Structure 1
């Protein structure tokens, strides 16, 4: 059955973008030129399409750094009367540099960078940001900074801050998406629900912090245990949901594969993680539900899995 688990998901979950938290992670290396470089030579540098800006080091005062952006150079070369290139071609780059750019350290949070950028004057607000480093300079466009900040805010609104997993609404949205992809076909959608047995006792005996640490560790281990293409979300305070899509198979095979996935996850969670008190490591309730061929319905899958999970809880009490 392990081979069947490995083939579970023909639907591959959308890959999440890498989270960018600081200016150094977003910045790209930037060329540094001397302030006495003729503007004509600077223009040649900007003919390379990948060059969006260059840093300028003052040859007379090496600790002073400015910036020339592509837009800024174009405006200077055009000039008010169209004679900018003729006037500036032999002038030093320092004459067209912005000597008061926004400069931040590599570790500066992107939210702080965005706030500083938006505080600039209107004509400079969207200029590139210089990022200073121990050995080299970098630059980041304000547009990229704002996009990264918006992406981070969107991530926070849909993901659980403790486990970093998608929350309830995002998980059920992903389930509906999976179901929409398999309607009318022979593939199946599987939903596995898991919850911690007696979470209230764990918190009471070991403390809320210990309970939170257990939930975060469970989330990480579930994610690490899943075959490619499966997804996991936190749908209750102590509950998780695993989503998968099965290849075409008959009802008996679907039931066996869904239960194999459930057992596969439980097996990876049975032993306490290193550094955790074995007495605080919980057992889990679990239940699996799978769609019928050609008619995957998210609401029905959730209802079916929850019914089975309630039966599992009742059976555990009687033991």
Structure 2
């Protein structure tokens, strides 16, 4: 049950595309090239291949390059009176060619190409875009728009600096985990990490060094997480780790939650070779976990923030409105605050 809840929670969080939009060559596909004197009837045979969306037409004895879309050829062969096929079957392809297609460079940005494509007239707006490389290629407008939307979704849910999920995406995922544990014996754990003295670090070493520290921390945080956990950047100098605990009693849950906190801190304790000890910061942490089968995301966040900002202690709390009486304190090395029930 614990593994199922963890997997579902991770797949139901807000997600964008797998990468940023990139350049148009990432989406380009090879395209069939024919001469302008090729009979239209032969063209119709080519389009029997369902994967063929367009054909590039190179003018025989000329310099023009055009395009024929499947939809355009179908419309031409139908004709206004239904006699298009009979009239055009033996005519040259040039008669049904669009000689003013949109042609782009392979390294043009998808964002600019998609914008230009959508600015075309209604009749040509959804035609493929030709990519002028050593060999002609084409990119569908649908693929361009999907890539652009995926990039926008990614940028709205991923921190551009650390590539971790943003605060809204992280809290959304936390809420999903809380929903999924309702009525089960599993629990949700939230660990907050705060980089101490970030402003002083920026003032002393510069923003470039400060940004490098945050990126390094994020990479090592993600790389050292146990299976089923996920991390996010929830503030300029604050990170969060989410986890779901399998069924266990209150004492074991307290120990497991704090073990996760200590494991995360241990992975971030030593400075990296690239960053150096002179700028490597200290981290404050707090951990909270829900009662079995009853978790509230807002309550978890509020309690974790309170503990992190109030005393600076790494202690943890069991959080849940329907919790039974909490057991006695179970403190490890460095814990100064006992477990307590909130609500």
Q: Find runs of 4+ consecutive structure 1 residues off by over 6 angstroms.
A: 5-8
Mapping of 1:96-115 within 5 angstroms? 96-115=96-115
Aligned residue number for residue 177 of structure 1? 176
Q: Distance in 1 between matches of 2:259 and 2:60?
A: 69
Higher helix share: 1
State the structure with more CA Rg.
2
Q: Which sits farther off after the overlay, 276-285 or 225-234?
A: 225-234
Q: Distance in 1 between matches of 2:30 and 2:260?
A: 45
Aligned residue number for residue 51 of structure 2? 50
Change (3 A) 1:41 1:248: farther
Q: CA deviation at 1:256?
A: 2.5
Aligned residue number for residue 279 of structure 1? 278
Change (3 A) 1:55 1:266: farther
Gapped regions of structure 2 (runs ≥ 5): 315-333, 335-343
Aligned residue number for residue 29 of structure 1? 30
Aligned residue number for residue 13 of structure 1? 10
Q: Distance in 1 between matches of 2:261 and 2:3?
A: 13
Change (3 A) 1:59 1:225: farther
Q: Does the 8 A contact of 2:16 with 2:151 survive in 1?
A: no
Change (3 A) 1:256 1:296: same
Change (3 A) 1:123 1:10: closer
Gapped regions of structure 1 (runs ≥ 5): none
3-state SS of 2:235 partner:
coil
1:226-266 deviation digits (Å, cap 9, x = unpaired) = 23443221111100111122223332332232223222222
What is the count of residue pairs matched by the alignment? Answer: 311
Q: Distance in 2 between matches of 1:236 and 1:13?
A: 21
**Taking CA–CA contacts closer than 8 Å with sequence separation of 6 or more, which of the two structures ends up with the larger relative contact order?**
1
1:258-289 deviation digits (Å, cap 9, x = unpaired) = 22322222222223233213211112112221
Q: CA deviation at 1:16?
A: 4.8
Change (3 A) 1:29 1:189: farther
Change (3 A) 1:9 1:181: closer
Q: CA deviation at 1:8?
A: 9.8
TM-score where L is the length of structure 2: 0.82
TM-score where L is the length of structure 1: 0.88
3-state SS of 2:121 partner:
coil
Mapping of 1:167-316 within 5 angstroms? 167-310=166-309, 313=312
Q: CA deviation at 1:183?
A: 0.8
